[in-house]
Structure 1
Amino acid sequence: MRALRIGNASGFYGDRFDAMREMLTGGELDVLTGDYLAELTMLILGRDRLKDPGAGYARTFLRQLEECLGLAHERGVRIVANAGGLNPAGLAVAVGELAERLAIPVRVAHVEGDDLTARHPGSLAAHAYLGGFGIAACLREGADVVITGRVTDAALVTGPAAAHFGWRPHDYDRLAGAVVAGHVLECGTQATGGNYAYFQDGDVRHPGFPLAELHEDGTAVITKHPGTGGLVDIGTVTAQLLYETSGGRYAGPDVTARLDTIRLTQDGPDRVRVDGVRGEPPPPTLKVGLNRLGGFRNEVTFVLTGLDIDAKAALVREQMAAALGKVAEVRWDLVRTDRPDAPTEETASALLRLVVRDPDQEAVGRALSGAAVELALASYPGFHVLAPPGKASPYGVFEGVYVPHGAVDHVAVLHDGRRVPVAPAHETAVLDDVPEPVPPEPLPPGPTRRAPLGLVAGARSGDKGGNANVGVWARTEEAWRWLAHELTTGRFQQLIPESRELTVTRHTLPDLRALNFVVEGILGEGVAAQHRFDPQAKALGEWLRSRHLDIPEALL
């Protein structure tokens, strides 16, 4: 059976608008997917739905289809997207109306069952992560467009693959291969040179979106349309495989994929073969993402210029103390961007950032604003702020909980209105830790030089709720032999000081020459809570790469 060509045209709500057209016109495709959802997106859509019960889906997807639905129909490309968000039925109706208005004869189906908000009082949105068999049911019955709500990102690939190849729920190795391909595709151009540690290896000014040539046995080739920007090599694929994962087992509702079995091979220019992936039964529960309003936040950044930076910071903190006395959470961060004898005022200045949170909107609203503004003529010399503090804004909190598979009514709603129940997983297995693999032979002793880790290792980092993961990989076997022994959990905590009081777990993936660190609680209550300067830990890996260690000169 020929390979199934599955492309991606969106990695998040707000991704490149023209990507759908680029993918439909740039080369051959069978299925085009789009991932529009993230933990923060679900909160945003939940707030939209509070204002308008008919909202709750990604409106840009509908605008993209207005331009591209005819193209997809002409080329025989099916479209599968989780743009339905909190309201997949509403988006399916809107797509059907659009098709009718454009006189394009397409069949639109959608997937329901993920919405558990009614079972979780106090939540703004509570949605289970569904698998791909609801999508597969829609496609098997002839759907041209399938709209979902909260499915796993990889389900956008496992569903079309299961439908095309006739896979069944017990085909774990095949499904695991599709999960890995789906995980590589889900973030769009992150697989083709975007956000890549070695971005200077190729022209990434306008990277093309990725696609997978998926085979019946679950193997895949990751590539992109000819002539598009960016690059696809073992490094770009490795980076995306490590993104927002942890150990050797990558659990999902259809299958648990063994990341420690993946083999990557360069299969020609901009082509990486992915094979060897093994699969196991899924865990007995489904993850449910709970989003709720956590309270209100506000912030102001004071600019401190020239001499006596620490003393100026201490003065303004003392002056603000009375106004902040009853606020639930107060955080001060002094960012020393200043330098001695600076040639510009900007480079002579440091930033003192104040962030406050409280259940009471007034406590962090006008009260904070008034106290900060009143210091304008009564504080340190050179007093000014980046912007006046505004009104308090609500912030969200994300929490992951778990329910049995049978607690969710997974349903494929076909284009003709028929409702097809999707059976829960027939076999499950409790996740166990993968045994720590035998480390490689260490490098022989030799001279070292103090240098940044990033000279010999790449990294990519991201968020899962309040936790962050940092994947680090070596590009050569020699660098791996050093990295596996040098970058211990203790060394990681030494290099990333804010992790020292937190639980950090290291996972080893020898076939990828990679280490993956999970830092628990570093993001507080999730991205919507904006707990730290980099609330999604997007740059945590790049900070780690900039830290200096004693590196063998042979690697430099």
Structure 2
Amino acid sequence: MTEPLRIGNASGFYGDRFDAVREMLTGGPLDVLTGDYLAELTMLILGRGRLKDPRRGYASTFLRQWEENVHLARERGVRIVTNAGGLNPAGLADAVREVAQKAGLPVRVAHVEGDALPVPDGCLTANAYLGGAGIAACLRAGADIVVTGRVTDAALVTGPAAAHFGWGPDDLDALAGAVVAGHVLECGTQATGGNYAFFGEHDVRRPGFPLAEIHPDGSSVVTKHPGTGGVVDIGTVTAQLVYETVGARYAGPDVTARLDTVTLTQDGPDRVRIDGVRGEAPPATLKTGLTRLGGWRNEVVFVLTGLDVEAKARLVKDQFADALGRAGRVPAEVRWELARTDRPDAPTEETASALLRLVVRDQDAEAVGRAVSGAAVELALGSYPGFHVTAPPGKGAPYGVFEAGTVPADEVAHTAVLPDGRR
């Protein structure tokens, strides 16, 4: 009987628990360790960083994790697959090689590129979501670590599984099973009790990261390392399975997974079996993501304490409108929201207070900057009784916009750059 391929996850987003890589490498046996760093917001962050330094554009946290754990990964024979390459997978691959060389370790590094698209005017980044074929090619060529740019989250699992079991593009059911397993793993501890509606039933103070035992037919068992926190049961797996999905057909570049064919079975403590998944051909298009700066925003939160909260809120709004009108710099968007966090006869000032939030947006940084912060500060001695704000108003900050689209798959040059440099 063929042993399952054990694929773990150590990151669900850029900023996830730093120690997770070490925890996963030392907590139990693994064949492959994956890390997902690329939310839509992350691409915008990396795009802004690349404007300051064209050599960057990747998730630098991963490089620090690699520096701390390269010896462990090599000692335990665990291959690493990560999309931390972001906008510069070749750059991160070079940095990974440099770390290994300094450590005196022979590490075969490969990367996947081709997801970068021509960036339209006004945008920061433009990328297609690639599948796992490039990852599989790198691993088949002997890579110890594979760095990618924008791939689908599930591709971090479909690629290693296809390479290990020899699946081709026509093995739709097996690929669909791996997509489902990858989707369960991709958000890290959300599969082990994190953000779970029934959290009170389990100890989720520090949930362990998940792993999947993938079988040759694409079926899998989702579990976690022994002794780690959280829980893996049908409820936690179901909650993650339906996360960010719409309808029965979960389309991706490798396969369209039929979520209405998934069968979940409790297979023992902290073990959920996934099988029965059927696959259909992938669409002829790839999802694309564009990011751009949408403009500038600022925020002020006024604290309204005690009686007459509604009247105090009206006074602040009227005073603010007058101040902005006098300054001649009214932002394009002005939004107020009153949160009645106060309660009658409250025993403390905090529980007797409501929050009045002002959010302004504009294409002009000046319109949401000093004009707004100055108007807020100048009310300090001339507004409602007990006037104060939660924090000193600032000068405003840029905000980002993400736009999804599609592009014909045959127009994207999905490229695996192998350890020996062949493309």
**Aligned pairs for 1:430-449 within 5 A:** none
Inter-partner Cα distance in structure 2 for 1:370 and 1:119: 37
**Amino acid across the alignment from 2:214:** L
Structure having greater relative contact order (Cα 8 Å, sep ≥ 6): 2
Contact 2:129–2:286 (8 Å) recurs in 1: yes
**Which residue is 1:24 aligned to?**
25
**Which residue is 1:37 aligned to?**
38
Q: Cα offset for 1:353?
A: 0.1
**Aligned pairs for 1:202-351 within 5 A:** 202-324=202-324, 326-351=330-355
**Amino acid across the alignment from 2:360:** V
**Aligned pairs for 1:474-493 within 5 A:** none
Contact 1:324–1:330 (8 Å) recurs in 2: no
**Which residue is 1:388 aligned to?**
392
**Amino acid across the alignment from 1:344:** T
Q: CA RMSD, aligned part only?
A: 0.9
Contact 2:264–2:272 (8 Å) recurs in 1: yes
Cα 1:217–1:324 shift into 2, 3 Å: farther
Inter-partner Cα distance in structure 2 for 1:17 and 1:215: 29
Q: Does 1:398 align with 2:402?
A: yes
1:250 match: secondary structure:
strand
Inter-partner Cα distance in structure 1 for 2:259 and 2:337: 38
Contact 1:135–1:146 (8 Å) recurs in 2: yes
**Amino acid across the alignment from 1:162:** A
The CA deviation string for residues 314-356 of structure 1, in whole angstroms up to 9 with x for no partner, is: 1110111134553111110000000011100001000000000
Q: Cα offset for 1:119?
A: 4.1
Contact 1:79–1:144 (8 Å) recurs in 2: yes
Contact 1:42–1:125 (8 Å) recurs in 2: yes
Q: Does 1:129 align with 2:129?
A: yes
1:179 match: secondary structure:
helix
**Amino acid across the alignment from 1:229:** G
Inter-partner Cα distance in structure 1 for 2:289 and 2:322: 38
**Which residue is 1:153 aligned to?**
153
Inter-partner Cα distance in structure 2 for 1:227 and 1:388: 45
**Which residue is 1:104 aligned to?**
105
Q: Report sequence identity in percent.
A: 79
Q: 2:362 aligns with which of 358, 361, 378?
A: 358
1:79 match: secondary structure:
strand
**Amino acid across the alignment from 2:167:** W
**Amino acid across the alignment from 2:387:** F
The CA deviation string for residues 369-424 of structure 1, in whole angstroms up to 9 with x for no partner, is: 111111111111111111121011111011001100011111000111110xxxxx
**Amino acid across the alignment from 2:55:** G
Give the unaligned 5+ runs of structure 1: 420-556
Inter-partner Cα distance in structure 2 for 1:166 and 1:394: 47
**Which residue is 2:74 aligned to?**
73
Inter-partner Cα distance in structure 2 for 1:40 and 1:184: 21
**Which residue is 1:88 aligned to?**
89
Cα 1:348–1:77 shift into 2, 3 Å: same
The alignment covers a number of residue pairs equal to: 418
Inter-partner Cα distance in structure 1 for 2:44 and 2:242: 25
Q: Does 1:372 align with 2:376?
A: yes
Contact 1:156–1:182 (8 Å) recurs in 2: yes
TM-score (norm 2): 0.97
Inter-partner Cα distance in structure 2 for 1:176 and 1:255: 6
2:399 match: secondary structure:
strand
Inter-partner Cα distance in structure 1 for 2:86 and 2:265: 36
Inter-partner Cα distance in structure 2 for 1:388 and 1:97: 44
**Which residue is 1:484 aligned to?**
none
1:32 match: secondary structure:
strand
Inter-partner Cα distance in structure 2 for 1:340 and 1:21: 50
The CA deviation string for residues 61-95 of structure 1, in whole angstroms up to 9 with x for no partner, is: 11111111111111111000001011100000000
Cα 1:55–1:387 shift into 2, 3 Å: same
**Amino acid across the alignment from 1:33:** T
**Which residue is 1:425 aligned to?**
none
Name the stretch that deviates more: 70-79 or 354-363: 70-79
Inter-partner Cα distance in structure 2 for 1:289 and 1:179: 20
Q: Cα offset for 1:212?
A: 0.3
Inter-partner Cα distance in structure 2 for 1:324 and 1:298: 14
TM-score (norm 1): 0.74
**Which residue is 1:503 aligned to?**
none
The CA deviation string for residues 190-209 of structure 1, in whole angstroms up to 9 with x for no partner, is: 11111111112222112111
**Amino acid across the alignment from 2:292:** R
1:229 match: secondary structure:
coil
